[in-house]
Amino acid sequence: MSIQERYTGAVMNTFGPPALALTRGKGAHVWDADGKEYVDLLAGIAVNALGHAHPAIVEAVTTQLSTLGHVSNFFATEPQVALAERLLALLGWADGRVFFSNSGTEANEAALKLTRRTGRTRLVAAEGSFHGRTMGALALTSKSAYREPFEPLPGEVSFVPYDDVAALEAAVDDTVAAVVLEPVQGEAGVVVPSPGYLAAAQQVARDAGALFWLDEVQTGIGRTGAWFAHELVEGVEPDLVTLAKGLGGGIPIGATVARGAAATLLQPGNHGTTFGGNPVACAAALAVLDTIEADGLLEAVRDRGDQLARLLTDQTGVVDVTGAGLMRGAELDGPYAVEAVAAARDAGFILNATGPSRLRFVPPLVITSADLDALGAALPAILDAARTAAARSDTETTR
Residue 163 is a catalytic residue = no
How many CA atoms, within 13 angstroms, populate the side-chain half-sphere of residue 142? 18
Q: Which of 100, 130, 349, 361 is catalytic?
A: 130
**List 40, 215, 239, 371, catalytic entry:** 215
Strands (E) across 249-317 are located at 254-259
- Could you confirm whether 113 is annotated as catalytic? no
Instruction: Please give the C-alpha separations between residue 160 and each of 113, 118, 288, in angstroms, as whole numbers.
Output: 21, 22, 35
CA neighbor of 18 nearest in space, from 350, 321, 331: 350
CA distance 369 to 308: 9
Cβ partners under 8 Å of residue 177, min gap 6:
115, 116, 118, 119, 120, 121, 122, 123, 210, 211
- DSSP line for 185-246: BTTTTSB---TTHHHHHHHHHHHTT-EEEEE-TTTTTTTTSSSSGGGGSTT---SEEEE-GG
pLDDT along the chain (399 residues), means of 10: 93 94 98 97 98 98 98 97 98 98 98 98 98 97 95 94 98 98 97 97 98 98 98 97 98 98 97 97 98 98 98 97 98 98 98 98 98 98 97 72
Residues in the chain: 399
The predicted structure's pLDDT at residue 155? 82
How far apart, in whole angstroms, are the C-alpha atoms of residue 327 and residue 363? 8
Amino acid letter, residue 187:
E
Number of other CB atoms surrounding residue 281 within 10 Å = 26
- CATH number, domain 57-294, options 3.40.640.10, 2.60.40.1180, 3.60.10.10, 3.40.50.300: 3.40.640.10
Closest CA to 317 of 394, 387, 240, 223: 387
Q: Which residues touch 352 (CB under 8 Å, ≥6 apart)?
A: 41, 42, 45, 341, 359, 360, 361, 362
The residues, ordered by sequence, that sit 6+ positions from 44 with a Cβ below 8 Å of its Cβ are: 250
What's the number of CA atoms in the CB half-sphere (13 Å) around residue 310?
10
Say what the pTM is. Answer: 0.96
> Looking at 100, 245, 349, 361, which residue is catalytic?
245
User: Is 117 exposed, middle or buried (CB count within 10 Å of its CB: 0-12, 13-18, 19+)?
Assistant: middle
pLDDT of residue 397: 64
Residue 363's alpha-carbon distances to 46, 304, 321, in angstroms, are 7, 10, 16
pLDDT of residue 396: 67
Residue 396 DSSP SS3: helix
In whole angstroms, give the CA distance from residue 241 to residue 230: 10
Instruction: Quote helix, strand, coil % in the chain, to nearest 5.
Output: 40, 20, 40
CATH superfamily of the domain spanning 3-53+295-398: Aspartate Aminotransferase, domain 1 (3.90.1150.10)
Cross-strand bridge partners of residue 159: 125
Q: Could you confirm whether 130 is annotated as catalytic? A: yes
What are the domain boundaries of the chain? 3-53+295-398, 57-294
